Chains A and B, each alone.
Chain A
């Protein structure tokens, strides 16, 4: 019957799973093994043998070239946008789940549309505005640009969490004389720790993954790591070793977070990509 919970997989099913895993993981394994080999050892040992593994490529990108400052830029910008988006987003999400004002529906629609918009459509408009503000090619400009994408996302993720806070808790606080702001800071936020963490992780990842805005709204004075990585591709032949080493570094936080985020994505990816508490 349906209850196959404890039954081991039949062998044809194992074969299918193995095939899917191979297809999905082979490109990633290719990057990893190229990152740890020099071009010569790649040719001599063929594919997945352990001979000739080396850290030379990592030495190249961190010591001879300078990936580190660009990585710091990436991290700083991702943190900045994360903080801005989550702080404004949590206020907005809280208010939107309590407020009954006339414009509530319009705000919700605006947020959802903003969350689904193609970033390319915003690239040139943001460029015009940031140039006007003198923020082109600055950390602040990129933080703001990423926030244009992250703020609607954070709000959307946080709304179900905010909604699940029992109103009785707030009423009790206000009976004890706490103001709305105090209630928010000392009652609502602590209860929503999970939601805040999930929203923060998604924002960080969105910003970390961004290439388009870094390309168009910055790129000379302020350069993020994805841009640097693409710079390793040249017309005269690409050194895939260092490039793959850089790719591995960029993938580290992504893979580390994917386990945490997967948990929140299963339930309902349609709902802001995550599940409520």
Chain B
């Protein structure tokens, strides 16, 4: 049935999607690549001039760019590792206690579905020095009311806490699914031989879970790179630049300081980073060890 004619008729089906990809991803990326390499005209009639890598040099010479990159890396590493540990622990716990109703599982992962803007504002409220529940508790315990979001050290960690609350269920879901897909025979054999639960986890389950954990970590790293809204509504990147992650830096450069050239350069760098990460994650998914991988 795979005649040349029927193959050609499929091109019509591909057309709208390819048009969308070109219009909404290809063209914008090209446009910003161009503006990252040119100085835009000041007056009408004048054409843009080629600037070479001047904008990239400007960008790389800014300490706030390196600060943003460092914060993004720190945020990614801390949230990913902590959420991986929590997600794995809860997944293992539930795996050995399999009588939990589905509704409990849904309630546990509910924060994952929450709108980023609501999640951010909720934590802004919790941390609010005047009306927030945290201050209320501090007050009852006889401490000064806390204002973590106004503190350049605690603001960052308050954001990390928010992310952990919201995103560990994401890692849990992936790991739990991977765990349930493992064949039970190996553990049962180990159990027969007198292995304890701890030994089964250490020597049977964890080695078999390695590919799943890799994918989970990869996807979470991608998610960390996407984080913008939560931080924007909680601190706006402040105080100072203490929570100005890469994503906030790009938006600020472009839409607060109107530095379109350097901001385009930063967008291109972010795209390159995102694409190489995406490519790595894709490669991991293609490994034959994972059932139902992404390549088909």
Contacts and interface: CB of A to CB of B under 8 A. Distances in A.
Interface of A: 1-2, 4-9, 13, 16-17, 20-21, 23-25, 27-28, 30-31, 34, 39, 84, 87-89, 91-92, 94-101, 107-114, 116-129, 132, 144-145, 147-148, 151-152, 155, 159-160, 163, 167, 170-171, 174, 179-181, 184, 205, 208-209, 211-212, 215-216, 226, 229-230, 233, 237-238, 240, 243-244, 247, 250-251, 254-255, 257-259, 261-262, 265-272
B110 A124 contact: no
A171 B111 CA distance: 46
A126 B24 contact: yes
A25 B109 CA distance: 10
B283 to A, nearest CB: 11
Main DSSP-derived SS at the B contact region: helix
A174 B9 CA distance: 13
Given A120-B226, A124-B32, A270-B285, A21 B108 contact: yes
Interface size, B (range): 35 or more
Contact of A118 (B13, B17, B247, B294): B247
B116 A209 contact: yes
A27 B123 contact: yes
B292 interface: yes
B122 A124 contact: no
A99 B7 contact: yes
A144 B24 contact: yes
Contacts of A243: 121, 125
Contact of B264 (A6, A124, A144): A124
Interface in B241-296: 246-247, 250-251, 254-255, 260, 263-264, 267, 270-271, 274-275, 277-279, 281-282, 285, 290-296
A6 B98 CA distance: 8
B278 A117 contact: yes
A109 B108 contact: no
Contacts of A266: 173, 176-177
Interface in B76-114: 90, 93, 96-100, 102, 104-111, 113-114
A230 B121 contact: yes
B202 to A, nearest CB: 17
Contacts of A123: 250-251, 254, 267
A6 B11 CA distance: 53
Nearest to B175: A269
A9 B99 contact: yes
Given A27-B123, A27-B126, A270-B215, A114 B267 contact: no
Given A9-B97, A13-B97, A113-B279, A226 B117 contact: yes
B262 to A, nearest CB: 11
Contacts of B271: 117, 121-122
A92 B28 contact: no
A17 B13 contact: no
B228 A120 contact: yes
Contacts of A244: 125
B1 A92 contact: no
Contacts of A31: 118, 122, 125
15 contacts: A4-B98, A9-B100, A89-B17, A99-B10, A99-B13, A101-B10, A118-B270, A124-B260, A126-B24, A181-B12, A238-B125, A243-B125, A258-B113, A262-B105, A266-B176
Contacts of B2: 100
